[in-house]
Structure 1
Amino acid sequence: MNLSDIEKYFGFENLKLSNIKFSAGDTHSNGKSVCILELNNKRKIVYKPRNMSVDVNLDLFSKEFASQFSLPNVLFLPRTLSKSSYSFVEFVEVKECNSRHDVEMYYENIGMLLAFLHIFGAKDYHGENILSCESYPYLIDNETILHFSEKESIDSSIQRMYDVVTDSVYSVGILPMTLYSVNNDKGMEIGALNSGEKRESPYQTHQLTNIGTDEIRIEKVFKEIEDFPSTVRYMGKTVSCKEYRENVLYGFELIYRIILKNRNKVQKMIMKYFENCETRYIYRNTNIYIQFLETSHHPDLLRNKYDFEMYMLRMLEYGNVDNEFDKSMIKDEINQLKKGDVPIFYTSSSSNEIYNGLHSRIYSLEGDSIIKNVSKRICSLSEENLLRQQRIINMAFMGSELFIKNKKLKGRNLLKKLSSNIIERILSAKLEFNDEISWLNMLAMNKNYEISPMDYNLYGGTSGMILGISSIQDDRLESILRGVIDYTNNYIESCQGNFPLSKLGAFTGIYGYLYVTCVLRQKGIKTVDNSEEFIYNILLSTYNDVRKFDNLDIIGGLAGILAVLVKIEEVMVHSSKVVQLAHVMSEEIVEKLIEVYKKQGYWMENDPGYAHGNYGVITQLFKYSKLCNEESIEKNNIIFCIQDYLNKERSQLKTDKIVPLRKNAKYYSWCNGIVGIVQAKHYLMVNEFPDQYLEEEVRYYVTEILNQRLNIENSICHGNVGNLTIMSSIMGDNSEINKKILSESELYLLDKLTYDCDDWGILTGELGILMANYETGRAMLNNVLLLN
């Protein structure tokens, strides 16, 4: 290439090179790496030792798309002069926005970018791959924009639903997300959309210290990580994406709808620019290679070539060498690593041939080509899918705690009756495969979240959905009940009897489905072919784990399991082996709970609440005591513990009678607040626990709860609708409370329309709200909360 070619393409005159910064990236393909060329005009261009036709074609595609649909530019890429084996690229620097309007436009533009990357099937476009330059999110390093997906045989509904998540905007990498280490209890933002706060790796990584001395060694450290280039900057500060969710959604929907309405045109454009394009094939995370190379430079490995060779063979641990594909790939990885290179692989958008950076063929994969998969993705676009993607975008912001809380849609008119509206939303969000039905949901904690198919739990999973659906007489819901039951049964069967401790509890795990099986058996609804064998096998397979369990609460611990065992004894009276096993387990749990109380004077310290505190244990112990002989030592011990706790609680109350709760608890809530405590006291009272003050206390706290200002939240677990549903159970159904339930339910739905997401379960989701608006649904909810 002549110098004049560069001058002409980039518009430079009298170009002279003043400096070269070598090794501006990883080395690939026999030591080749990116270099930054500093020019005499104070400009820079980037030399890349590879063909960059994808970037060139992406820019051409963007320009034609914008022209075809009368838009300003829709994708932003550095100008690129691409040759057969090398390229020169415009050096784009991070620049802050000039105005608030620029900030808004940046987020709209990144929403458009998200739509395109979703259509292309791009993966892992995290913060390093996007550069913020004023209002433009520049795409850099686009080798992986056309992503090859290995063919997978999907033979279960669970796999199919995970596949829905994998093919969604969730996997693109732009959305807020956190890399989280459970062991270290640390998280680090990795999404291109982020808070702009400082980042530190949640994992300890190997780092050479004391370099240049005879005390060089490898240490494990939590490395500080630089800001992402994708982070927006304005007036010298980083800007969080928190306030700009709606801008992202606007840009995403704009592009999605254009492609949806113009499939054929867009498909032809994609074929025109991306057929037979070379694209990167990602076999393994680059960080593994980098860490591998760094530690391979340790002097102990450099003294003896055989030690070095043996270290390189550790790469075999990262794959299945019995698989021909893995075996071929790992062999080539090792060859590249020996040369000090980060292994790199390529494929073509129109074939499935895998080759390395030197164009040596390695393997040919089965399945559709990249370009065919893009075409399929365009054909699958729909209004239903658009809504699903929008919900996932909302969940990403919510799960990362990057959203403005309590923002309401103004003037939004609920055109249809609330119950019909919620039913239609639940039905429209369902996923169906092989006649099995479930939904997506989100588990979020500590700014970390995971979007996945529902599991079988009672709190927010399909066990709760089954009970909710069965409690409401509606043909539309009844038509899907069997499909949800079949999904749940197959999910549980796939666990093969292996349930971790976190998946045992009445609200969080398998014992919740045992409760559902018993409740539906009483209603004459069949869940499994042989409920006796099913319940017995679950009890037997979990027996030893339950004996070792230290969690005492009702949600995921022994109190909740005790309630389910009592329910099993009540319902399975004709099965002696089930009743005997359930009773043995119940006795052991009760013995443990009594022992804990006599030793400590409480079950959970400083937590009287129902869901995770002492009143949850009290309620289930008393429920169990009703099965005991009147004069039994066991029953007397239970009554003593409960009465002792009540007396101590009363002695500590001040004149305002405010019950001291666990830290950060919502006072007026079921889960950890006074509402759950009152429900427990009412249960003791109506079931004739021998205490003279319960009726007065229940009356006092019910009046206080009904007179207090309502919470901001409206869920069953910790909001107004749940509180009112419990009050209606205590006071008896009355029109005033029912009107309040409807009013708060409408506010809940407005909130959901503002932040539409997949949250359908009974304790925090829409089905619970729906149940609260039916007399039969309220009865079921109150029974579930008490595990009656």
Structure 2
Amino acid sequence: MTTSLEFLQRLDDDWEEICQHFQPDNPGKLIKIQRGAGDSHHGGKSVFILEFESGWQLVYKSRSLAVDEHFQELLLWLNQQGTHPPFKTLKILNRGDYGWMEFVKAQKCTVPEEIERFYQRQGGYLALLYVLSATDFHFENLIAVGEHPMLIDLESLFHPHSHEATTTAAATLDREMIADSVLRVGLLPQLVWANTQAAGIDLSGLGGAAGQVTPERVPQLEKTGTNTMRIVRRQVVLAGSQNRPTLNDREVNVQAYTPAITQGFTDVYRTLLQHRQELLKILDIFEADDVRVVMRPSRSYALLLRESYHPDVLRDALERDRLFDKLWIDVQNRPILSQVIRKESLLQRQTEIKDTINNTEKELKQILSDIQKTIIRASATGNIFNLELRNPGI
């Protein structure tokens, strides 16, 4: 509730400046707010997508958008150099500890040349993001807008390197090699989450195709709305995202455009090398910007939290604490993790409290809805108009 009130107050305070900056054409009344889009920020605060009567949409993020804003300035500078296809920029209004962003809507390509330029730009982005030590540009952080790939979450630029492995374990060496390569960015196709039963899935910015099946079984509700409802574990088919371009609504094979990606990478990388001194001066605009440090894959936290709700570890708080002690497993290979585990535990508890509050609010709304449905309504003559039962088969 506090987050929603804060958001509405900021919208009211900034509305005049929003209209001046984004220049919407008679947006009309606010008719819809989508909450929970994208990653959470600052203690679980959500991203909001606003829709107005005219169809115009706007994105609100509860974090500083300074790094996003400065990245657009960097793109404008880069567009003035070299001969690569120019990058499209986004309108951003940074308000310090929060900000407003232009809504990005996916669009299809209509001619093969647009697909070619799309992948040239992807190659160019790969070069730029590699130089900026970026990471986490997976399929959900990119939207295909015609011939323009649009990066929509830039908080993982300038990611620090931590070459601190204390063993020569193969997994550690592999991780270090990836950290020093273009694979670190997350755009290039690569399989993750492989196990003995599955080869893994591709969540990259260039890949991330729909229809992939999760390697592990995840809890799912079965027979919902009945008195035999239960939780079962099964593999889930991923829906995909809007990161892949389409040619007249048809998917294209990214491998067929490897030369375009390579050309785009080469052109932009050479441009950056040629203007290296000027680039270093421009990068000063990022000096005070907040960025996100990804200490572990988000999946690691998700798996731990999910398993922590199993009855076997909920009967005794000590058992649950033992489960979270798994956070220490990788410390011998990455000692820096020992400095953040306490913070991770606090954030985990904070997340649980917020989830409990949100679930309680949803349950209360459902109860009120159920009460309304079970009220017996009758006319003046005593005839029942409607009676809805939750389990009519009983």
What is the Cα deviation at residue 112 of structure 1?
A: 0.2
Determine if contact 2:114/2:146 at 8 Å carries over to the other structure.
yes
* Letter in structure 1 aligned against 2:134: A
Matches within 5 A, 1:136-155: 136-152=148-164
What is the Cα deviation at residue 161 of structure 1?
A: 8.7
Using the size of structure 1 for normalisation, the TM-score is 0.39
What is the Cα deviation at residue 89 of structure 1?
A: 1.5
- Alignment of 1:280 with 2:289, yes or no, is no
Determine if contact 2:81/2:271 at 8 Å carries over to the other structure.
no
Counterpart position of 2:268: 255
Counterpart position of 2:68: 55
User: Can you list the C-alpha shifts for 1:666-709, whole angstroms capped at 9, x where unaligned?
Assistant: xxxxxxxxxxxxxxxxxxxxxxxxxxxxxxxxxxxxxxxxxxxx
What is the Cα deviation at residue 164 of structure 1?
A: 4.5
Counterpart position of 2:180: 167
* Aligned CA distance change for structure 1 residues 280 and 180 (closer, same or farther; 3 Å): closer
User: CA separation in 1, counterparts of 2:291 and 2:193?
Assistant: 30
* Aligned CA distance change for structure 1 residues 14 and 219 (closer, same or farther; 3 Å): same
What is the Cα deviation at residue 317 of structure 1?
A: 1.2
* Aligned CA distance change for structure 1 residues 25 and 190 (closer, same or farther; 3 Å): closer
Counterpart position of 1:319: 328
* Aligned CA distance change for structure 1 residues 225 and 72 (closer, same or farther; 3 Å): same
Determine if contact 1:19/1:39 at 8 Å carries over to the other structure.
yes
User: CA separation in 1, counterparts of 2:173 and 2:305?
Assistant: 37
What is the Cα deviation at residue 135 of structure 1?
A: 0.4
Determine if contact 2:139/2:208 at 8 Å carries over to the other structure.
no
What is the Cα deviation at residue 144 of structure 1?
A: 0.9
Between structure 1 and structure 2, the one with the greater Rg is 1
Counterpart position of 1:110: 122
User: Can you list the C-alpha shifts for 1:532-578, whole angstroms capped at 9, x where unaligned?
Assistant: xxxxxxxxxxxxxxxxxxxxxxxxxxxxxxxxxxxxxxxxxxxxxxx
* Aligned CA distance change for structure 1 residues 96 and 172 (closer, same or farther; 3 Å): same
**Secondary structure at the residue paired with 1:314?**
helix
Counterpart position of 1:194: 207
Counterpart position of 2:135: 123
**Secondary structure at the residue paired with 2:234?**
strand
Root-mean-square deviation (Å): 3.2
Instruction: Tell me how many residue pairs correspond in the alignment.
Output: 337
**Secondary structure at the residue paired with 1:37?**
strand
User: CA separation in 2, counterparts of 1:161 and 1:179?
Assistant: 13
What is the Cα deviation at residue 220 of structure 1?
A: 1.8
User: Can you list the C-alpha shifts for 1:203-249, whole angstroms capped at 9, x where unaligned?
Assistant: 22233444555555432211111123211111111111121111001
* Letter in structure 1 aligned against 2:68: D
Determine if contact 1:58/1:273 at 8 Å carries over to the other structure.
no
* Letter in structure 1 aligned against 2:151: L
Determine if contact 1:316/1:330 at 8 Å carries over to the other structure.
no
User: CA separation in 1, counterparts of 2:58 and 2:104?
Assistant: 9
Determine if contact 2:163/2:176 at 8 Å carries over to the other structure.
no
What is the Cα deviation at residue 47 of structure 1?
A: 1.5
User: CA separation in 2, counterparts of 1:96 and 1:175?
Assistant: 21
User: CA separation in 2, counterparts of 1:256 and 1:219?
Assistant: 49
Counterpart position of 1:331: 345
- Alignment of 1:206 with 2:206, yes or no, is no
User: CA separation in 2, counterparts of 1:50 and 1:78?
Assistant: 17
Segments of structure 2 that go 5 or more residues without pairing to the other structure are 1-12, 356-394
User: Can you list the C-alpha shifts for 1:495-516, whole angstroms capped at 9, x where unaligned?
Assistant: xxxxxxxxxxxxxxxxxxxxxx
* Letter in structure 2 aligned against 1:50: R
User: CA separation in 1, counterparts of 2:215 and 2:252?
Assistant: 23
Using the size of structure 2 for normalisation, the TM-score is 0.75
User: CA separation in 1, counterparts of 2:174 and 2:197?
Assistant: 30
Determine if contact 1:319/1:326 at 8 Å carries over to the other structure.
no
User: Can you list the C-alpha shifts for 1:626-675, whole angstroms capped at 9, x where unaligned?
Assistant: xxxxxxxxxxxxxxxxxxxxxxxxxxxxxxxxxxxxxxxxxxxxxxxxxx
User: CA separation in 2, counterparts of 1:279 and 1:118?
Assistant: 16
Q: Of 24, 43, 46, which aligns to 2:37? A: 24
The structure in which a higher percent of residues are helix is: 1
What is the Cα deviation at residue 80 of structure 1?
A: 1.8
Counterpart position of 2:24: 12
* Aligned CA distance change for structure 1 residues 223 and 54 (closer, same or farther; 3 Å): same
* Aligned CA distance change for structure 1 residues 55 and 5 (closer, same or farther; 3 Å): same
Determine if contact 2:84/2:264 at 8 Å carries over to the other structure.
no
What is the Cα deviation at residue 253 of structure 1?
A: 0.3
* Aligned CA distance change for structure 1 residues 183 and 7 (closer, same or farther; 3 Å): same
Counterpart position of 1:581: none
Q: Of 88, 111, 117, which aligns to 1:99? A: 111
Determine if contact 2:272/2:279 at 8 Å carries over to the other structure.
yes
What is the Cα deviation at residue 188 of structure 1?
A: 2.2
User: CA separation in 2, counterparts of 1:66 and 1:91?
Assistant: 22
What is the Cα deviation at residue 43 of structure 1?
A: 1.6
User: CA separation in 1, counterparts of 2:247 and 2:317?
Assistant: 49
Determine if contact 2:308/2:323 at 8 Å carries over to the other structure.
no
Determine if contact 1:52/1:80 at 8 Å carries over to the other structure.
yes
Determine if contact 2:304/2:323 at 8 Å carries over to the other structure.
no
What is the Cα deviation at residue 146 of structure 1?
A: 2.1
Determine if contact 1:181/1:203 at 8 Å carries over to the other structure.
no
Q: Percent identity?
A: 26
